[in-house]
Amino acid sequence: MPTLYFAEGLPYVLVNVISVTLFKRLGMPNGELALYTSLLYLPWVIKPLWSPLVDVLRTKRWWILSMQALLAAALLFLSLSVPSRSYALMLTLFYLTAFASATHDIAADGFYMLALDAHRQSLFVGIRSTFYRIATVFGQGLLVVIAGLLETRLCDIPRAWELTLLSCSVLLFVFFLWHQMALPVVENRREAQAGKGALRDIGRSVSTFFRKPGIWVAMLFLLLFRLPEALSVKMLTPFLLDPVSEGGLGLSTTDSGLVYGTVGVIALTVGGILGGMAAARFGLKKCLWPMALSLALPCSVYLYMALFQPSSLWVVYLCVAADQLGYGFGFTAYMLYMIYFSDGEFKTSHYALCTAFMALSMMLPGMVAGYLQEKLGYTGFFVLVMLFCLATVAVTFMIKVDPEYGKKENR
């Protein structure tokens, strides 16, 4: 399970986070960068469309191994394409990686539920999330730092990123070989028949989702609750890397990896843990407003940095850590609401549809974020981000939650 969920997290980070740094270092303008990398979310938006096929065709183990082999091959060709600076070819390979990664997510989560009984699912849930986070730190932090060090040592940005992506390809191929030996065979004909039943029920599960009480308010919440973060996230790496003369902070690739990919991810994880503890103690309803405000308001640190452009790296560390800590705490409300809204018949399918809206909520704002930043500059852009905190407040006011939901039951 640790290596399976590390292998699940790494391609997602490569596609949705590291691609931003890569294209920025290769000279892609911010408008195009945000548009094209936001569209890479698409496979996670539409993966419910083919998730029943993963249930019906072959086994989850087969899909896991096949996708890991495909990911290793796609990253190999992606690494070889970097020196050409062909954005079209690189984006095509990133899309292939994204579809393989989204399919791997479906298979890995299904395998987790089949291979472990209820007790061991509870036992391993912390381990799987921890190793997914470790993959995030490894990707956003260590890999970007390595790429930055190679840029300095080789004085060749494309070559540095070619070697970095090549190392990812080798790592995923090692996981493929390891999982061929380590993953048990747990599926049988009974589960295959269950999968066929799931395929027959897919139409009914979708139709019942859109007939749920409060569906339109729920959709607005899923799309708008994270709007400030969705707008800003694609511009954070360019903001850190762009020179001071262009309104950025002028950090190196290595420093950017340490700030956003290491300190930021650790703070995000701590915030998520604190959010889970608070929700378990007080319930979602009582935590909803504190979590909404903690998600939206810390975005002000980027406006502060855009205005004053601090030269001290420690100030940047503290600002990014504060934002990510608040985001991690606030995101707990978002995740719990998805589980709450999905409860009932077809809860698995309905939760998958909620995650599709979650991905869409990041994709659509990200597509225009770069063009807005180019038009407004970094200071104007982060002022706009703060104004969109009103969207978070509005949708939080609209939703209704059972006051007892999430509280620990007294026995």
Task: Identify the pLDDT of residue 200.
Answer: 61
- Choose among 172, 357, 144: nearest CA to 255: 144
Round to whole Å and give the CA distance between 116 and 96: 30
Residue of 309, 56, 21 lying closest to 161 (CA atoms):
21
Q: Please give the pLDDT value at position 204.
A: 73
> Where are the alpha helices (H) located in 138-263, listed in sequence order?
144-154, 157-182, 189-209, 215-224, 227-241, 253-258
Q: What is the mean pLDDT of residues 117-123?
A: 60
296-349 residue pLDDT tens: 999 899 999 999 999 899 999 999 999 999 998 998 889 888 888 887 777 767
Going through 156-265 in order, the beta strands assigned E by DSSP cover none
pTM: 0.82
pLDDT of the residue at 411:
40
Query: What is the Cα–Cα distance from 136 to 269, expressed in whole angstroms?
Result: 10
Residue 410 pLDDT greater than 50, yes or no: no
Q: What percent of the chain has pLDDT over 90?
A: 55
| Closest of 399, 405, 401, 407 to residue 225, by C-alpha | 399
Whether residue 140 contacts residue 260, with contact meaning beta carbons closer than 8 Å, is answered with: yes
**Confidence band, pLDDT 50/70/90 cuts, at residue 194:** low
- By residue count, the chain amounts to 411
What's the confidence (pLDDT) of residue 197? 56
Whole-Å CA distances, 188 to 135, 275, 298, 348: 31, 39, 49, 21
**Rounded average pLDDT over 282-289:** 89
- Examine domains 1-202 and 210-411 and report if their fold is the same: yes
* CATH superfamily placement of domain 210-411: MFS general substrate transporter like domains (1.20.1250.20)
- State both tokens at 30: 């911010």
Average pLDDT over residues 75-97: 95
Mean pLDDT estimate for the chain:
87
Q: Which CATH architecture best describes the domain 1-202?
A: Up-down Bundle (1.20)
Does the pLDDT at position 34 exceed 50?
yes
CB 364 within 8 A of CB 391: no
265 closest CA partner among 297, 236, 307 = 236
Q: Residue 198: what pLDDT?
A: 54
Q: Give the pLDDT mean for 270-292.
A: 87
Phi, psi of 250, deg, nearest 5: 70, 30
Residue 350 pLDDT exceeds 90: no
pLDDT band at 404; cut points 50, 70, 90: confident
Q: Hey, how many other C-beta atoms are within 10 angstroms of the C-beta on 110? A: 22
Q: What single-letter DSSP state applies at residue 408?
A: P
Q: Which tens digit of pLDDT belongs to each residue from 43-60?
A: 998 887 887 777 777 888
pLDDT in tens, 215-265: 999 999 999 999 999 999 889 999 999 999 999 999 999 998 888 878 888
Domain ranges of the chain: 1-202, 210-411
Calpha distance 197→190 (Å, rounded): 11
Whether residue 190 is predicted with pLDDT greater than 60 in this model: the reply is no
Q: What band does 208 get if pLDDT is binned at 50, 70 and 90? A: confident
| Alpha carbons 30 and 366: distance in angstroms, whole number | 11
Q: Which residues contact 245 (CB under 8 A, 6 or more apart)?
A: none
